[in-house]
Amino acid sequence: MPDYSARRLMMVDTQVRPSDVTKFPIIKAMLDIPRERFVPGDLVEAAYAGKNLTVAPGRVMLDPRTFAKMLDALGLTGTDLVLDVAPGMGYSSAVLAQMVQAVVAVEPDEALAAEAEAAFQETGAPNVLVERCDLAEGAPRHGPYDAIMIQGGIERFPESLAAQLKENGRVVALFMPSAMHGVVRLGVKRDDAIHWRDLFNAAAPVLDGFTQRRSFVF
């Protein structure tokens, strides 16, 4: 039987810590949460690989390095309410649940949402609420949020989500200006506007509802 705890330790020691992610709550959560429980059965052996894993068409679990660095950038605290957009089978929300007061996970795919809820029951994440809503619409009835995290690529950050962020709240998202290359950006809300700065390069498929509106030229 595979020793997944050893694989988690190797993941942290070879992918997370070398990326300058050393905050204890992040390290502890990524060592505690069984990543293999949150992927499709045929991907269990690849759960700790340093790459995005496809959990459904157009949907991925972000690679450990990218995910950890995004967590690090948010500067989360134990009193935060976090909106986790597109968590898939729930790994990101389970990790967040160990670090913050509560997580609202927005997952419109019924099969993925059901898998996530089952995994939360098994692994112990009572402070995660799964909402089956459109990704770009978020879950405004539970906000406003201290932080928003998006588990996939975006071309734009919609106003519908910006409105759900508290003043001085933070958002981390992977902007994809091209199909192969992207940049993770941290946004902070001040005076009802999101102020962005670039953090590091990464890539992931662009999520439904987050594409840039194209204008037609005649």
Q: Model pTM?
A: 0.94
Contact between 55 and 112 (Cβ < 8 Å): yes
For residue range 5-18, what is the model confidence (pLDDT) as tens digits? 999 999 999 999 99
Q: Which domain holds residue 56?
A: 4-202
Using a 10 angstrom Cβ sphere, with 0-12 exposed, 13-18 middle and 19 or more buried, the burial of residue 22 is exposed
Candidates 207, 12, 2; CA nearest to 95 is 12
Is residue 184 domain-resident?
Answer: yes
- Tokens for 186, please give them: 């941290």
CA distances (Å), origin 46, targets 7, 49, 145, 182: 10, 5, 33, 23
Share of the chain above pLDDT 90, in %: 94
Structural domain contains residue 214: no
Residue 32 included in any domain: yes
What is the token pair recorded at 212?
Answer: 């840039």
Domains in the chain, number: 1
The tens digit of pLDDT for each residue in 173-195 reads 999 998 788 999 999 999 999 99
Q: Is residue 114 part of a domain?
A: yes
Q: Is residue 212 part of a domain?
A: no
pLDDT in tens, 92-111: 999 999 999 999 999 999 99
Q: How far apart are CA 33 and CA 5, in angstroms?
A: 9
Q: Could you tell me how far CA 126 lies from the centroid of its own chain?
A: 18
Question: Within a domain: residue 210?
Answer: no
What's the CATH number where 106 sits? 3.40.50.150
Single out the residue of 186, 195, 197, 192 nearest to residue 74, CA to CA: 186
Q: Is residue 216 part of a domain?
A: no
C-alpha–C-alpha distance, residues 107 and 129, integer Å: 10
In-domain check, residue 215:
no
CA distance 87 to 151: 6
